[in-house]
Structure 1
Amino acid sequence: MIIDFKYHIASLIAVFLALGLGIFIGTSLGYDNRIGEAILNQQKQLTQGIEKRLDELKKKNDELEAINEELEVTNKVLKQYQEETLPVLVKGKLTGKKVAIVVTGYYGLNDEVKEVLKKAGAEIVSITEIIPEELTNPADIDYIKSQMKWQIKDEKEFYTKFALEVGKNLLTPGDGSTLLTLAKTDALKITGKYGVPLDGVVVIGGGLSESDLVNYLDLPLIKFLKTVPVVIGGEYSNVEKSYIKYYQKERITTIDDLDLPSGQLSLVYGLLGVKGDFGVKSTAKRLVPPIGQ
């Protein structure tokens, strides 16, 4: 916490002005000079008190700044240590595992998530990015409904239908024509192979504000994907609106800090089948899985 001295200086000036005005009024009304002297004495005492308080605040501010600098150094060292030890801890852990990534949130796919999976030996068979800003665009909704010939009563049903279509193409062998149709809009980006056996799926969410979209897009998708051996619901530590509490309703492993080395370690061990709620937020039960077991 850094103290704002501008506020205290403004307060001091306001006090001086008020006292000066009081002296002026008292003099104008012809009061005894003793009244003016009394006001001046009060002004002097008040000024000394304020100056003392400002000195105390400055000292406290300096102490807080010093503590903050120490914490920043400590955090930098810890992050560097985690980044250097992470490759050793995950190397070869996911060799032979086929993993699909589905992004449903507003924060995209962090390159570090892909890198840690590759370092662990996993094969990322597909990356599916649902762009919520575009998915909620009326023009894209109308286009998809027309192309897919969906008879849908409202947008909530549309989001669920969209999620299930993505899920079917992830798991069911086919020509992928419906997925290609969806990808003709800006609402969906796809890369990789679809309809192949999977060992795990990572769903990465996180919103910008309070929204029901997670209930009609993410949760139906997760329910559909539960035939895969491992389904993980994750997000980054800095998202404005966390989806973790919603993912936990489906009793899947959750990770709320995929942008941090600790979250990436949890991701690898989660795909190995270690269950739990990991991360740094209040919804987490542990920082990382018990990797020593």
Structure 2
Amino acid sequence: MIFDIRHHIASLVAIFLALGIGIVIGTSMIGSEAITKQQEKIINSIEREFTVLREENKKNAEALIQAQEVMANQKKFNEAVLPVLVRGKLQDRRIAIVDLNYRKEHDSLVSVLRSAGADVRSITVVNLMLLRDQQLNRQVAAFLGRSEEVAPDRYLPDFARLLAAAVLSGGNEDFVRFLDESEIIKVSGVYGPPLQEVILIGGSNDKEQDYAKVFDLNMIEVWKDAGINVYGVEDSNALISYMRYYQSARISTVDNIDTVFGQVALVQAMSGYPGQYGIKETADAFLPPLE
């Protein structure tokens, strides 16, 4: 256990204050045996407090080293066991990933899916924050037939439907090319059929970029109408969770996809155990059955 040293710091401040007062009084009452003894008591008390503090700091340092060793071993274990848990469970499943909240941890998700045998056909990283740029905002609005200057949430439903359709069909090439050249999206892989499933990575850390209702849900609707299985996921530390939005669209969700546990949960959900998984209050279970 890591001890809280704030109590000791407050105690030391109080002791030093008392010592200072004692010194002031002592200088005005030189020769007072009572004052001298009191000062000795205070000094001895300070020494005892420092001794206790040093011991607790030593224990804290040792506990921290032990915790780091446990975490390192846990990471090694996860890396060794994960491929075994997911092997062959998504064999030849054709999947697209659309990432609205890009983190480097999501690179490991792609590796897990491929370890499970999936064919990850395309990865699309969408950066809607760029729409804060007024010139780029006007360009996107104009491309979508909005001649007047409008806020992004006015045209994002159309944006979402066109991009979702492009992921499915490989169409809307001019729009996709424009988005790519503007760096609003970054695409790797190939759009179009055959495609069976889409993983949508959402969640937000910025209230001003909470576009789940106008963007994410419209993409999900397009995919579901086309008979595509959709899975909504987000990071465990997302400040603004999209899980309730995704669950309202009746899709399986995982709220800790940046962890090994979340990645295993997603593979299991995709292999026959749909549901709401993770660590947040919107989850029904931590993991699906691991059969």
Alignment of 1:203-218 (within 5 A): 203-211=200-208, 212-218=210-216
CA RMSD of aligned residues (A): 2.9
Question: Do residues 62 (structure 1) and 58 (structure 2) align?
Answer: yes
Which residue of 2 is the match for residue 93 of structure 1?
Answer: 89
Deviation at 1:119, TM superposition (A): 1.3
Distance 1:175-1:238 versus aligned 2 partners, 3 A rule:
closer
TM-score by length of 1: 0.82
Which residue of 2 is the match for residue 49 of structure 1?
Answer: 45
Which residue identity does 1:60 align to in structure 2? E
Which residue of 1 is the match for residue 70 of structure 2?
Answer: 74
Is the CA contact 1:200–1:231 (under 8 Å) kept in the aligned structure 2? yes
For residues 41-78 of structure 1, give each alpha carbon's deviation from its aligned partner in whole angstroms, at most 9, with x where no partner exists: 33333333343333333333333333333232222222
Q: Secondary structure at the match of 1:18?
A: helix
Alignment of 1:181-200 (within 5 A): 181-200=178-197
**Aligned match for 2:136, one of 110, 119, 140:** 140
Deviation at 1:102, TM superposition (A): 0.2
Which residue identity does 2:218 align to in structure 1? P
Deviation at 1:10, TM superposition (A): 5.5
Is the CA contact 1:103–1:109 (under 8 Å) kept in the aligned structure 2? no
Which residue of 2 is the match for residue 177 of structure 1?
Answer: 174
- Unaligned runs of 5+ residues in structure 2 are none
Alignment of 1:11-50 (within 5 A): 12-24=15-27, 27=28, 34=32, 37-50=33-46
Following the alignment from structure 2 to structure 1, what is the Cα–Cα distance between the partners of residues 284 and 239? Answer: 20
Alignment of 1:199-278 (within 5 A): 199-211=196-208, 212-227=210-225, 228-278=227-277
Is the CA contact 1:235–1:256 (under 8 Å) kept in the aligned structure 2? yes
Which residue identity does 2:207 align to in structure 1? E
Is the CA contact 1:2–1:65 (under 8 Å) kept in the aligned structure 2? no
**Aligned match for 2:99, one of 83, 103, 115:** 103
Is the CA contact 1:234–1:256 (under 8 Å) kept in the aligned structure 2? yes
TM-score by length of 2: 0.83
Which residue identity does 1:137 align to in structure 2? D
Distance 1:113-1:32 versus aligned 2 partners, 3 A rule:
closer
Question: Do residues 117 (structure 1) and 113 (structure 2) align?
Answer: yes
Distance 1:245-1:79 versus aligned 2 partners, 3 A rule:
farther
Is the CA contact 1:256–1:281 (under 8 Å) kept in the aligned structure 2? yes
Following the alignment from structure 2 to structure 1, what is the Cα–Cα distance between the partners of residues 156 and 170? Answer: 23
Following the alignment from structure 1 to structure 2, what is the Cα–Cα distance between the partners of residues 261 and 197? Answer: 28
Distance 1:53-1:160 versus aligned 2 partners, 3 A rule:
farther
Following the alignment from structure 1 to structure 2, what is the Cα–Cα distance between the partners of residues 219 and 40? Answer: 76
Following the alignment from structure 2 to structure 1, what is the Cα–Cα distance between the partners of residues 109 and 212? Answer: 21
Question: Do residues 166 (structure 1) and 163 (structure 2) align?
Answer: yes
Following the alignment from structure 1 to structure 2, what is the Cα–Cα distance between the partners of residues 132 and 38? Answer: 73
Following the alignment from structure 1 to structure 2, what is the Cα–Cα distance between the partners of residues 249 and 40? Answer: 74
Deviates more, 1:141-150 or 1:41-50: 41-50
Q: How many residues align?
A: 285
For residues 13-36 of structure 1, give each alpha carbon's deviation from its aligned partner in whole angstroms, at most 9, with x where no partner exists: 444323223334xx1xxx6954xx
Deviation at 1:184, TM superposition (A): 2.5
Following the alignment from structure 2 to structure 1, what is the Cα–Cα distance between the partners of residues 163 and 215? Answer: 10
Q: Secondary structure at the match of 2:181?
A: coil
Q: Secondary structure at the match of 1:158?
A: helix
- Unaligned runs of 5+ residues in structure 1 are none
For residues 206-245 of structure 1, give each alpha carbon's deviation from its aligned partner in whole angstroms, at most 9, with x where no partner exists: 3233343333322332333333442111123344544334
Q: Secondary structure at the match of 1:258?
A: coil
Deviates more, 1:40-49 or 1:91-100: 40-49
Deviation at 1:130, TM superposition (A): 0.6
Percent identical among aligned pairs is 28
Question: Do residues 129 (structure 1) and 130 (structure 2) align?
Answer: no
Q: Secondary structure at the match of 1:195?
A: coil
